[in-house]
Amino acid sequence: MDVRWSFLCNFVLFIICLFHDTATFKQEGVCFFPERWEGTWFQSGVRQPIIIEGPRLSSKGRCIASEGDKFLVVDEKSCYRCVVIHEKHENVLQYKETYCYGKESLLTLCSSITGDALLYSMFRENAAPISCPFRGPFTFTYNRGDGECRSPVSSIDTCTEDSRLLLSYQACPDIHSSESTVEELQCLAVWKEGSSRYLVGKVHHSHATSNEDRFRCFVYEKASVASEALDGIEFRVAQSGDATCNGLFSATEGSRTMTLKRASSLSKCRFPLWLANYNHWHTLDYSVTYSFHHRNSTLRITNSSGLEMKVVCAQTRHSTRDETSVMLLTHYTMGCQSGFTCMVFYRRDTNVMEVQAGAQTKRMEDACTTPYFNRATIPYITLVTATPESRECPYVGKFAVRSLIKGGRRTRSSTHNRQVEMYHFRQNYHVDRHSKTFYGEVDHIIRTKRVDRFSDCDNEGFSNLIVGCSSADIMEFRSECPTSDFITSYSCHGGWEENGTHYLIATPISRSPHGAHRYCFIYREYDPYLLLFSSSSDNCDRSLKPGVTGDLIFNATIIGKCVDINSMSARNQFHWTMNIIPLLNLIIAVVSSYIQR
């Protein structure tokens, strides 16, 4: 009987242990944190980044059970704890947790968390920024606990990106804790909790060296209509003193509080209609785009790397009667830097314009003065519409091309320029040293071409320039070499003349993948029969000298009109016909004689 009883007891114990182990296995399963939480997070006071990945919550361990926002986690030391996580924003998680306990169930552990337990905030590292809840410009006063800094007034400026604000703090002589500093705020998260609205951002300044210094939490509120009407107050903002949201309960309590008023906006003008009628303009090499928005008052300038400058028309300083030349005082914003610059827009043709932009300054009244803007020294930027119309090419006819130089480098000094000029002309022309020259040197250029020992007959060279013959808006570079069928065609888009130098904008009709988008042909009439040419693929550079410096350099001598070319073709056809007729008559006579036999 004892043996049976002992066996029965052991069997019952075995069944109990089996059920216990099974229950434990079920409880200690695997649960996963939401996939949208995965990534690297920062928490104030924690040295290493917190990583959420699958069932793992960094050093706290792995999740073995969950219910709603409650998670039971266990670490390698068999430390069990309940973690209650609230998602405030995709970039912000806040949680409370229990102390370390032995093995307990999820509900048992989580019930021990009290309402006054510490609240921890986690901010996502490398978070995608969001649009800030308020946009400048504002003026503001601030208080760091020992009085409000009212004069001089501080300011908030809007950056090019909606996710950034530039805060410029001024130091007040009567407030000890005030200081003159500039901070850039990048907005990362906003949410509402009760009647309070929260903002989390990164604050960048000269003393911020770690995430502990950069992450800050804010509470903000929109002022009442009555307060705004009475005092001009638009927002009240409180800022945390560290990288947490602890102790922030209202917009009037915090490590630093701010009162924001809307700054007086600049008076706006409009860009000329001929300019803004085309939404997009490009530099010749497409490296910079000018885009007009907001009823002709805003211009956005974007370069190939994506850097953008916002330009707002503030005042019209000067304009010709037909508005072909307009000087504007503009306000620019680039990144979080802003100020004023003077710009002059020139209408060169229907689809061609140029602009000169002066130096940037913080003072509005300085922008168009001589130290910051000088028309004689500021370079021109040549712009063409996205889809320019074709225009009639100048100098219609056929030209012989001489002295072709490709890939010429621009010179950097006037002395070197003169050396290059005279070397070029001595290589290609006979020189009379007792007459004055076209460029003011002692030598005189005579149009007697030397025999070049290098042949121009190659697959990349050309010997003729034909303008407006096949079509009024087309100019063609052709080769007369026996083994070459080289023809490069350009479509003309318009041009202009300055002090005897002509500028022509043209687009290659068939372009290689690495070829230039558009060209500026710069030419000067040396005499009625000779044109000196240079070209540039990025700008109509005033420092280039036709026939001397540029990407492509050549001289063109007129040798005929389009009608001469067409009549020559007709004469060739006539001669061919006259030669073939006798041959045909001979063939017919031979065939007839054979038939009669």
Does residue 28 form part of some domain? Answer: no
Over residues 162-191, mean pLDDT = 94
The helix/strand/coil state of 70 is strand
- Residues 6+ away with beta carbon under 8 Å from 18: none
pLDDT level of residue 461 (50, 70, 90 thresholds):
low
- Do 396 and 377 lie in one domain? The reply is no
- Do 379 and 395 lie in one domain? The reply is no
CA atoms within 13 A on the CB side of 497: 5
What are the pLDDT digits (tens) for 332-359? 999 888 899 999 999 999 999 999 999 9
Task: Look up the pTM and report it.
Answer: 0.69
The residue type found at 473 is D
- Residues 6+ away with beta carbon under 8 Å from 487: 476, 477, 478, 479
**What pLDDT, on the 0 to 100 scale, is given for residue 594?**
53
Radius of gyration of the chain, Cα coordinates, nearest whole angstrom = 39
- Cα separation, 576 vs 110, whole angstroms: 105
Asked if residue 64 has pLDDT above 90, the reply is yes
What are the pLDDT digits (tens) for 528-556? 889 999 999 989 999 999 999 998 899 99
- Do 75 and 171 lie in one domain? The reply is no
CA atoms within 13 A on the CB side of 147: 12
- Do 239 and 331 lie in one domain? The reply is no
Asked if residue 243 has pLDDT above 70, the reply is yes
The Cβ of residue 407 has, within 10 Å, a number of other Cβ atoms equal to 8
Q: Answer left, alpha or beta for residue 66, where phi above 0 means left and psi between -120 and 50 means alpha.
A: beta
**What pLDDT, on the 0 to 100 scale, is given for residue 426?**
39
Q: Which of 94-98, 204-208, 377-381, 443-447 has the lowest mean pLDDT?
A: 443-447
Q: In this prediction, what percent of the chain has a pLDDT beyond 90?
A: 58
Cβ proximity of 384 and 493 under 8 Å? yes
- Do 176 and 231 lie in one domain? The reply is yes
HEC profile for 295-329? Answer: CCCEEEEEECCCCEEEEEEEEEEEECCCCCEEEEE
Cβ proximity of 63 and 71 under 8 Å? yes
Could you say which of 209, 237, 262 is where a domain stops? 262
Does residue 83 form part of some domain? Answer: yes
Over residues 129-156, mean pLDDT = 93
| 401 or 575, which is more confident | 401
345: exposed, middle or buried (C-beta count within 10 Å: 0-12, 13-18, 19+)? Answer: buried
Please, what's the largest Cα pairwise distance for the chain? 145
Domain that holds residue 544: 389-407+460-563
**What pLDDT, on the 0 to 100 scale, is given for residue 457?**
54
Pairing between strand 487-498 and 501-508?
antiparallel
User: In the structure encoding, which two tokens stand for residue 70, read together?
Assistant: 């409650």
CA atoms within 13 A on the CB side of 143: 15
Q: Which helix (H) or strand (E) holds 281?
A: strand 280-283
Closest CA to 273 of 390, 342, 334, 353: 353
What are the pLDDT digits (tens) for 420-429? 333 333 333 3
Does residue 469 form part of some domain? Answer: yes
What are the pLDDT digits (tens) for 19-48? 333 332 334 578 999 999 999 999 999 999
- Do 376 and 289 lie in one domain? The reply is yes
Does residue 447 form part of some domain? Answer: no
Could you say which of 227, 242, 262 is where a domain stops? 262
- Cα separation, 253 vs 143, whole angstroms: 10
- Do 482 and 528 lie in one domain? The reply is yes
- Cα separation, 277 vs 142, whole angstroms: 45
- Do 373 and 466 lie in one domain? The reply is no
- Cα separation, 37 vs 86, whole angstroms: 11
Does residue 7 form part of some domain? Answer: no
Could you say which of 385, 416, 447 is where a domain stops? 385
Closest CA to 121 of 27, 51, 207, 216: 216
- Do 381 and 400 lie in one domain? The reply is no
What are the pLDDT digits (tens) for 264-323? 877 788 898 898 889 899 999 999 999 998 677 889 999 988 889 999 999 999 999 888
| 511 or 276, which is more confident | 276
Does residue 247 form part of some domain? Answer: yes
- Do 535 and 399 lie in one domain? The reply is yes
- Do 167 and 251 lie in one domain? The reply is yes
Query: What's the number of domains the chain is made of?
Result: 4
- Cα separation, 305 vs 579, whole angstroms: 64
Cβ proximity of 93 and 37 under 8 Å? yes
**What pLDDT, on the 0 to 100 scale, is given for residue 488?**
85
**What pLDDT, on the 0 to 100 scale, is given for residue 10?**
55
**What pLDDT, on the 0 to 100 scale, is given for residue 22?**
32
Does residue 595 form part of some domain? Answer: no
Q: What does residue 583 show for φ and ψ, rounded to 5 degrees? A: -65, -40
Closest CA to 80 of 64, 69, 67: 64
The helix/strand/coil state of 558 is strand
pLDDT level of residue 415 (50, 70, 90 thresholds):
very low
- Do 234 and 285 lie in one domain? The reply is no
Does residue 433 form part of some domain? Answer: no
**What pLDDT, on the 0 to 100 scale, is given for residue 402?**
85
